[in-house]
Amino acid sequence: MKKGLVHIYTGDGKGKTTACVGLALRMAGSGGKVLYAFMQKGVMSSEVKLLETISGIDVFQVCTMTKFSHLQNEEEKAEYRHQHTQGLVKIISLCKSGKYNMVVVDEAIGAVLEKAIDLEAVMELIQTRPDNCEIILSGRKTPVELTELADYVSDIQAVKHPFDKGIPARRGIEF
């Protein structure tokens, strides 16, 4: 790959992480090297276990906290922000190393909206990446600044979802 591009999967529909995982698998399957970073997800989603076994994919769990941010007290929110900020610093450093053909930062956009990371730092990741590195970001409500930097933007909209009927998230489907 000569020139890496920037992909964003956004919207309120199900499938953003699924799309990210699919691209990571495709890159690894073609012989490329992937850094797959999970933000906002302190609980191991089911895909993590499998991604960790695939040659060519390095998994980085940014956050160890399992409590949703809107339920955190001020001390927990400070720790949440610290983990995400330090995690993004590490992601930027790993990306700049040139080791990876693809860097996925799942829920980076959500982390920006929650103010767990700064938009400017995500823009730095995009703008300072090696030429051959594809960047994949996901999350709801993408800021216009990221949309403008992206080459692909897919807006995944919920038309119908079981959660609307009171059916909670299910292991193997939503996590």
Q: Which domains does the chain have, with CATH numbers?
A: 6-165 (3.40.50.300)
* Residues near 170 by beta carbon (within 8 Å), at least 6 away in sequence: none
What pTM value is reported for the model?
Answer: 0.92
Please report, for residues 16, 26, 27, 90, the alpha-carbon distance to residue 31 in angstroms, rounded to integers and kept in the order given.
Answer: 23, 9, 7, 24
Using an 8 Å Cβ cutoff, are 23 and 145 in contact? no
- Relative to beta strand 57-61, strand 152-155 is unpaired
Residue with structure tokens 């906002």? 40
Kindly report, residue by residue over 55-100, the tens digit of the pLDDT. Answer: 999 999 999 877 777 888 999 999 999 999 999 999 999 999 999 9
Kindly report, residue by residue over 28-63, the tens digit of the pLDDT. Answer: 999 999 999 999 876 667 898 899 999 999 999 999
